[in-house]
Amino acid sequence: MSQRLLSPDELEAALRAVGAERYHNKHRFHARQYGGKCTYEEVQAWALNRYYYQATIPIKDAIVLTRLTDAEDRRQWRKRIEDHDGLKPGDGGIERWLKLTDSLGFPRDYVESTAGILPATRFAVEAYATFVRERSPVEAVASSLTELFSPTIIGERMSGMLANYDYVSKDTLAYFSYRPTQAKRDADWALDFVKTHAKTPEQQQAVIKALEFKCDVLWTQLDALWTGYVENYRSPGVWEPGTVATPRSRAA
C-alpha cells in the first residue's frame, strides 16, 4: 500500500496512536500490578526480569550513539547513558533499580548475573539492541519514543504500588521518581528528531513500525511474566519463587 507524505503533526499523531493502541499500560499484568492484585513473588519476578531491560538500555543507547553522525545529536543522546549509568558509582538508574531488587530480598550478584530471568525477557531485550544496530538511525531513535507514554504508566504504577503493597516505599521506587522528567526531555528531543529526519513516506512508515516494534518488546516481557509467575507455567532454569531471595517475612 503506497502512503502519502504526512505533515510533521500528522506523523506525531500517528506515533501517538501507536502508543494508544499498543503501549504496555494496556497489558493485563500492569492492571494487576497497580491494582494491588500481584503477589509478593510476582513483584519480585517483575523487578528481577526488568533489571535485564534496565541494564541493557545504556548499552542500547551506546549503540545508537555509534549511529548518530552529528556531534550535537550525540551530546543530546549521551544524557541518556549518563542518566542510567550515573555520573559516579552509586548513582544512576541501574543503581536505583538494584535498590528495588535489594528491597525485594535479591542478592545483587544474582540479579546482575541475569541467570534467573525468563528466556522471553532475554530474547525481547536483545531484539531491541539488535534493532538499533541494524535499522536506520531515524528508526533507532523512533524506537525510543515509548517514553512519550511513560509518564502515565509510571504515575499509575507508583500510586498503585504505594497504596497496595506495604513492602514498597517512595524510597524503594526511587527509580520511577527520576524518570518522568528525564523521559520528557528525551522524548521531546527524539520526537523532534524523527519529525525532522523522516522525510519520505517510506521513512515515516518505517518510524511508525519502529515504535510498534518497541511496544512489542515491552508487551512481550509482560506476557512472559504472566505465563511464568501468574499462571506459574515456567520453563526449566528460571528463578523459582521461594529460592535465592530473602523471603518477605525476613526482608527489610
DSSP notation for 32-74: HHHTT---HHHHHHHHHHHHHHHHHHHHHHHHHHTT---HHHH
| Residue 49 vs 172, nearer CB to a copy of itself | 49
The span from the CA of 108 to the CA of 111, in Å, is 5
DSSP 114: T
| Residue 124 vs 245, nearer CB to a copy of itself | 124
In the complex, the smallest distance separating the C-beta of residue 121 from a copy of itself, rounded to whole angstroms, is 10
In the complex, the smallest distance separating the C-beta of residue 207 from a copy of itself, rounded to whole angstroms, is 16
Alpha helices in the chain (DSSP H): 8-22, 28-34, 40-65, 71-85, 93-103, 108-113, 119-134, 137-142, 150-164, 174-197, 201-225
| Residue 152 vs 181, nearer CB to a copy of itself | 152
| Residue 130 vs 196, nearer CB to a copy of itself | 130
Binding residues for a copy of itself, rule: CB under 8 A, are 21-22, 28, 119-120, 122-124, 126-127, 130, 212-213, 215-217, 219-220, 223-224, 226-227, 233, 235-237
| Residue 207 vs 224, nearer CB to a copy of itself | 224
Tell me the CA distances in angstroms from 200 to 6, 110, 116, 136, 189, one per residue in order. 9, 47, 44, 13, 20
In the complex, the smallest distance separating the C-beta of residue 215 from a copy of itself, rounded to whole angstroms, is 8
Cell triple for 104: 525485594
In the complex, the smallest distance separating the C-beta of residue 132 from a copy of itself, rounded to whole angstroms, is 14
In the complex, the smallest distance separating the C-beta of residue 236 from a copy of itself, rounded to whole angstroms, is 5
